[in-house]
Amino acid sequence: MWLFNSSIGRKVVMSVTGMALILFLTFHCAMNMVALFSGEAYNMICELLGANWYAVLATMGLAFLAVVHIVYAFILTAQNRKARGDNRYEVSTTVNGGSGVEAFASRNMLVLGIIILLGLILHLFNFWYNMMFAEIVGMEGLVHAPGDGFGWIQETFSNPIYVVLYVIWICAIWFHLTHGFWSALQTLGWSGKTWECRIKLIGFIYVTLLMLGFLVVVLAFAFGCAPSLCTGCCAA
């Protein structure tokens, strides 16, 4: 099948899985923003998305998309390097003719991808392992209950090392998506000079706002400034 055997087909698969993962990140960010204002509301969402059959099925689907995206990324990177040396992609223009963020991202997609993968493993350990997996297997003796997502957020970001690692991870995702967003749409047919500039600008703004949402949550809990905590600078 051409989707799996041809270079163009693999790029289409990469694009579709990438856009699906961006949609998930959008949902995840919106969910995390709830934790800024209400721990009770956030835990209600966590309970709804606990070890229920639909949540487990959705998690398996996301895992499949992520694995396909990662595997195809390495395959395409190897092919591009073989065909064009160290160039990952043919396009290496700057975002909106500006700072060169997209050019940097396009040249370093493999390194960024590795950082993102390592960050994903850490994130799964901190949250999925202690929440959904713990609930499925009936794990006991945890610091917080599996359904206490708010408690796990507090626990994780009370550790400065985790805060630094998450900030690095979020920055890597931002760089990755500044290139990946418009590249995916271009592969799916949104091409031409006019649309390319528009997509780059829209993608840059959207991805920046999305990653800022994640960053705000991390830093707000790290410094005790989340309104839901009602402590620290929140009381000033």
pLDDT digit string, tens, across residues 4-19: 667 788 788 888 999 9
The average pLDDT across 24-40 equals 95
Looking at residue 53, its pLDDT comes to 84
Looking at residue 85, its pLDDT comes to 54
pTM to 2 decimals? 0.85
* Percent of all residues in the chain with a pLDDT value above 90, rounded to a whole number: 53
66-115: pLDDT as tens digits? 999 988 888 887 777 776 654 444 444 444 444 567 677 777 777 888 99
Looking at residue 123, its pLDDT comes to 97
Mean pLDDT over all residues of the chain?
Answer: 85
Phi, psi of 69 (to 5 degrees): -60, -45
Are 226 and 35 spatial neighbours (Cβ–Cβ below 8 Å)? yes
- Alpha carbon distance 122, 74 (integer Å): 20
Tell whether the model's pLDDT for residue 233 goes beyond 50: no
Q: Which of 70, 14, 1 is nearest to 187 (CA)?
A: 14
**Residues sharing a CB contact under 8 Å with residue 216, sequence separation 6 or more, in sequence order:** 33, 36
What is the rounded radius of gyration, in angstroms, for the C-alpha atoms of the chain? 19
CA distances from 132 to 21, 124, 144, 195, 204 (A): 19, 10, 13, 42, 33
